[in-house]
Amino acid sequence: NPDGRQMLDRRNKNDVDINRDWGYMWDGWGDSATPFSQPETRALLSWFLGHQFVVAQSVHAGMEVISLPWSYRPGQSPDQQVMIALADGYAKSSRYPSLTYGSGFDQLYPVNGTAKDSYYGIRGSLSWTLEISDNKSPSLEKVRDIYRSNRPAMLYLIKSAGTGLHGTIRDAKTGKSVSAMLWLRNEKQEFWPVYSDPLIGDFHKMVQPGNYTLRITANGYRDKILKNITVPDTGSTAVNVSLEPADGKFAWQVLSCRVPGNNFSDDGITYHVLGAPDRRFYSLGRKGWIVLDMGETIFDLPGDDLKISEGDLTPEGYAVYVAAKMTGEWQKLGNGRGSATFDLAANKIKSFRFVRIEDDGDGFASVANAGFDLDAVEACNNPEMAAFPVPVGVSFVDTLSNFNGVWESGEWVNVDVHLKNNGGNEARNIRIRVICDDEQIQVVHPEITVDALLPGEEKRVSGVRLFAEDRPVNRRKLPLLIRVSIENQQWDHIISVDLRDGGRLQTAASVTFDDPFVNIRNESKLQLRNGGSDTLNIFQLQTRTAAFQVPSSQFKIPPGESVPLMVAFTPASTTEHRDTLIILNSDPRQPRKLVPLLGTGNPAPSLALRSTDSLNIYLTGTDSLEVGWQISNSGKGELSVVATLAIDRDALEFPVSEFLDASGYLWHFQQLAAGETEPGSHLQEVLPQPLQFSETAPGTPIDLQLPFPFSIDRVHFHQLNIFPGGQFELAGHHNNPDNPPRQFQLLSGDWSIAAPFDVYFRSLPEHLLLEWQALFDGNGNGPFQLKALLSANGEMIFYYPVLGELTDEMSIRTPGATLGKPEADLRAGTQIALQPRAGFRIKQRSAGLHPGESKQQQLVVVTKNLPSGNYPFILELHSNDPLQPLTLLPLRLHVGSELSRTGEPGVAPEKFALLQNYPNPFNPSTTITFHLAESAKSLLTVYNMLGQAVQVLVDETLAPGEYRVTWEGVNDYGEALPSGIYFYELRANEFVQIRKMILLH
C-alpha cells in the first residue's frame, strides 16, 4: 500500500482499504466498490497468479499475532492443522516473547475480501497475515528490532516450504509441461487443491507426514489417481506424472466470489465447481455469484459452446455472463435453470475466457445449500465438426527498425498470424484479413491467403504490415480483429496485442567544443536520456575520424533516466574539425541516431611562476603583511588564472590538535573529561526552540535571524540557514554572488531524513546554540548528538556529546578546511574551538594574461593574537593551462615573538647598532634590541654553533628607530632548542653585526 505508507493510513489515495478489496469472498468492505477495484490489488493478483506459491505471508502492524484463514467465516480451513504446525514453528523460531496464532475470524475479527483468504482460496497457498508490532507506526529503530525478531522465523518458513509432496506433471506423448490441478486426501479429509507450473510443470503441496491419495486433473487430459503415497517425517516425497491427452475443457480456477452477508450454514468449498461434473457442488448463496477462469480462450463453434451443470436434483435459477478479462466487460449469455447449455453465436459473442454465474435471488439466505448449486462449467466439444481455422496468436517482425520483436509507437512491423485448424476436416482457400480501427494504427496489405490446413495443423503466415503513429503510449492493449473466411463461412476473432512506447533517445542536436586546445584531449559530456516508457539499449557508438573518440561499451538506460557520455576531441591544428557521432540504439524511431560533432583547435596557454618555488611570511602574533608572486604566460593562447588559499594537508601531522585554516580560524581540539562544563552550558536555562522542518521536503533549510552580526574575514552575516543533518550556512540579508553563503557541517553523513528531526536552538543577545539531538545514518548507526555555539566575537565551538559508529566517509567541513575521520581524533566528548586569529585576502585573485605577459598577485595577511608557530598553506592557482590546470605554491606563515618599537617617536638613532641581549644567559626567553639609523630592509636571524639558521626573527623593511624583539628559544617550527651557545645577526642595508648569547635549561 504505497499510498497508505506515505499517508500513514490503511487506505490508499482512493480512500479504499485494499485489504478488503480482494476477490475471494468479497463483500464490499472498506469502501471497495467491486472485487479487485484498485490498481494495487490487481497488480499483486497478477504477480501472484504468475507463480505457484507454497506459502504466502502478508505483513501488517497493530498487534503481535499470526492470523490464519479463514477471516470471512468461523471454523477451520481444510489445511488448518498444517498451518497451525507451521505457525507454531514460526513463533518459536522468532524472537517474540509471545506470538499467538489462530484463524482470523476467531483470533482477531470477522472481515471479507482479505489477501490471505484469496491466496488460499484461489490457489491453495498456505497463507497467513503476520501482525508484527503492537504499534501501527513503529519508529525506524523499532523496525530494525522487528526485522531482527522475524529474520530467523522467515528463514524457517522458507526451509519448511520444501517439505511434503512435490513433483512434475508432463504430457505423456510430447513430454511438455502440463498445467494441472492436484487434489490430495488422506483417510480423514481432502485438502485444498494446488496447481502445477505451466512453464516447468512442477508442483509442491506442503502436508504433514502420512499416507495420501493424489488425483491429478488437467484440461485436455485424462484424470490420473495415485494411491498409497507416503510423506516422510522430514524432507519430501517426489511424484512425477505423465498424463494422456483426452477431450474436455472445464472451469480451471476460482478468481472471485461473493455470498452477500456470508452464509455460515454452508461449507463454502468453492473448489467443488472445478473440473468435470462429479455431483460435488458449491452453493452460490442467495444473490451470490462466482467468477471462474476457463484457463484459455473459448471460441464460438457451431452449436452450443458452454454447459452449466447443477450439483443436486433441485433445479434453481441463475444468469451467465462471459468476458475476455476477469474484471469484465461482462456480456450476458443467458439465464438458466438447473443444468443448461448456451450458444455464443445466439448473443453475437465471438470468444471469452472468464465466466460469471449469478444466483437469481430465490429462496432463503441463511440455510444450507442456499442459492444455485454449481457443480461444473464445461466448454462444449465437437471434434466431428467441419474445418475451423482459428488464429491462436500474432507476432511482430520489425527488421526495418530495431529488431527487438516488439511493436512500438512510431514503428512499422510485419505481422505473422499463427493459424491453427481446430476442426475435424481440412480447411482450403483460407482468407485472413487484419483490421484495426484505432486512429493511431495504419494497416497496409491487410489480407493474406493460405492454400490448405490439415486438422490440428498449425502454420505461421505473413504479409500484413502495420504502422503505429508516433505518440507517447506507455503501454496499450490494442484489439486486432482477425477475420478468417473459408468458402461461405466467416469468423471474427479479437486478439489483444501490446503496443509499447519503447525507449526514446533524447540528446543534444549536436556537440560543439568551445575553445579546445591543439594537441590536447578535450572532453564534453553528452547526456543521453531515455524519454520513453521502456528500457533503452545502446548497442554501439561510432565516430569516423581520429580527432573525435567515444567509449566502445554497450549499456542500458532505464525509463526517465540519463547517462552521461564523454566525447573526446583532440584537434591536430587550428582548423575546423567536423565529424558525426553514430548511436546505434533500440529507439524504433531513430535506431541510428546521428549527432554532429564540431570543434576548432586553439593555441594553448601555459602558466609559469617566475623564480618562486615557495613563499615564506614572517609575522608577529598581531601584525600585517603583503607578499606577492609573479605569474606569466609562456604559451600561445590567452591565459586565465584564479588564486585560492587552502591548508597544506601534507605538512600537517594527523590527527591534528591545533591548526590554522584558510579562513583564518585557529582550530583547537580538546577532549572534555566527565563532569567538565560543556560549551553553551550558560544557555541551558534558556528554553530550547524546536525547528520545524518540512516532512515532505526534508532537505529544505530553515532560515533563522542571528541575534548579533557574525563576521568572518571582515564579511558580516546576519542569518543562519539550518539543515536537519548537522549543517548550517551563514548568509547575509540579500543574495550576493560576490559573497555566497558560508557552509559549515559539524559531521557529514548519509543522514536519515525520517521525521522527527529533533533540532533546537537557544539564543541570548551575544550567543546562539544549535543542537541536533538524534541523528541516524543510512546504516542505522546512531544516535549522534551535535552542538554548535556561535558567539558575537566571531568564535565558534563544535561539540559532540554523543557519537555512534563513524565511517571513513564522515568529515567536518567549513569554508576554510575539511577534516576526515582519520585526520581528526573525533569521539564522544570532543570539543573543537574555532577562533578568528587571522585574515587572508588575495589581491587580483582573477587575472588574464596575453601570450608573453606577466602579472603580479598579492596575498594580504593580518594576524591578531595568533600564537607563535609555523602554519602551512598552499596557494592554488587554477588556470586554463590544459597541461597544468592546477599549480600549487607552498606558503609558510611563520609567527614569531612580537617586534616592538621603542624610543622617542620621530627621533632616529645616530648609527646602526645591535645590542647585547638581556638577560644573558636566559631560560627560556630573552630580548634583543637593535637601532636603525635610516629606513632599511632588516634581517635578524638566530644561528646555532654549526652556523645553521634556526629562526628568523625579523625579515622586513623597517623605518628608522629603536626596536626590540623577544626570542622564545625555539626554531622556525616552534620546537624548543637545547641549551648551548647561539649567535644572532642583524643585516640592515650595508650594516652587518653578530653577537653571542647562551641558552640554559
Tell me the pairing of strands 489-500 and 511-513: unpaired
Whether residue 943 is predicted with pLDDT greater than 90 in this model: the reply is yes
Pairing of strands 936-943, 980-988: antiparallel
In angstroms, the CA 989 to CA 176 distance is 106
Query: Are residues 817 and 661 in contact, defined by beta-carbon separation less than 8 angstroms?
Result: yes
Which CATH number does 897-999 carry? 2.60.40.4070
Which three-class secondary structure state does DSSP give residue 984?
strand
The CATH number corresponding to 389-500 among 3.40.50.410, 1.10.1510.10, 2.60.40.10, 2.40.30.40 equals: 2.60.40.10
Report the C-alpha gap between 274 and 191 in whole angstroms. Answer: 14
What does the pLDDT read at residue 612?
A: 67
How many beta carbons lie within 10 A of that of residue 911, not counting itself? 10
Taking residues 915-932, report their average pLDDT: 93
Give the model's pLDDT for residue 114.
Answer: 95
Whether residue 784 is predicted with pLDDT greater than 60 in this model: the reply is yes
pLDDT of residue 901: 66
Residue 454 CB coordination number (10 Å): 13
Q: Which CATH number fits domain 505-600: 3.40.190.10, 3.40.309.10, 3.40.50.300, 2.60.40.10?
A: 2.60.40.10
272-292 as b/e: b if 16+ CB within 10 A: bbbbebeebbbbbbbbbbbbb
Q: Cell numbers of 298, please?
A: 473459448
pLDDT band per the 50, 70, 90 thresholds, residue 356: very high
pLDDT at 109 over 50: yes
Whole-model pTM?
0.49
Select the more confidently predicted residue: 7 or 430.
430
Q: Determine what percent of the chain is predicted with pLDDT higher than 90.
A: 64
Summary mean pLDDT of the chain: 90
> In this structure, what C-alpha cell is assigned to residue 687?
528554553
Mean pLDDT of 34-62: 92
Mean pLDDT of 552-567: 94
Query: CA–CA separation, 433 vs 468, rounded Å?
Result: 18
In this predicted structure, the answer to whether residue 132 has a pLDDT above a threshold of 50 is: yes
The segment with the largest mean pLDDT, out of 603-612, 792-801, 820-829, is 792-801
Residue 559's pLDDT band (boundaries 50, 70, 90)?
very high
Question: Residue 751 — very low, low, confident or very high, per pLDDT cuts 50/70/90?
Answer: confident
CATH of domain 173-243: 2.60.40.1120
Tell me the percentage of the chain whose pLDDT exceeds 70.
97
| Residue 690 identity (one-letter amino acid) | P
More confident residue, 290 or 895: 290
Q: What pLDDT was estimated at residue 565?
A: 96
* Strands (DSSP E) found in 315-364: 317-323, 331-337, 340-342, 351-359
Partners of 238 in beta bridges: 166
Distance CA 378, CA 261 (A): 29
Any idea what the Cα angle at residue 317 is, between residues 316 and 319, rounded to 5°?
145
Provide mean pLDDT across the span 424-431. 88
Tens of pLDDT, residue by residue over 498-520, are 899 999 999 999 999 988 999 99
The CATH label, of 3.40.630.10, 3.40.50.1100, 3.40.50.300, 3.40.50.2300, for the domain at 2-160 is: 3.40.630.10
Q: Which residues pair with 57 in a beta bridge?
A: 128
pLDDT at 121: 96
Q: What is the pLDDT of residues 631-680, one digit of tens each?
A: 999 999 999 999 999 999 989 888 888 999 999 999 999 999 877 889 98
Q: Any residues with CB less than 8 A from the CB of 53 and at least 6 apart, and which?
A: 119, 123, 125
Does 338 have pLDDT greater than 50?
Answer: yes
The whole-number pLDDT of residue 159 equals: 93
Residue intervals in the chain for CATH 2.60.40.4070: 897-999
- Alpha-carbon distance of 250 to 931, in angstroms, equals 118
At residue 383 the predicted structure's pLDDT band, cuts being 50, 70 and 90, is: very low
Element (H, E) at 184: strand 181-185
The amino acid that residue 831 corresponds to is Q
Mean pLDDT of 769-792: 89
- pLDDT attached to residue 394: 86
**Alpha carbon 92 to chain centroid, angstroms:** 35
- Distance CA(594)–CA(582), nearest Å, equals 5
The pLDDT of residue 83 is: 96
* DSSP state for residue 829 in the 8-state scheme: T
Give the pLDDT confidence of 844-882 residue by residue, as tens digits: 899 999 999 999 999 999 888 888 888 999 999 999 999
Cα distance between residue 570 and residue 113, in whole Å: 67
What's the CATH code, domain 249-379? 2.60.120.260
Q: What digits encode the pLDDT tens for the residues 698-718?
A: 778 999 999 998 988 677 889
Is the peptide bond between 783 and the residue preceding it cis, with omega within 30 degrees of 0? yes
pLDDT 10s digits, 180-237? 999 999 999 999 999 999 889 999 999 999 999 999 999 989 999 999 999 999 899 9
CA–CA separation, 480 vs 483, rounded Å? 9
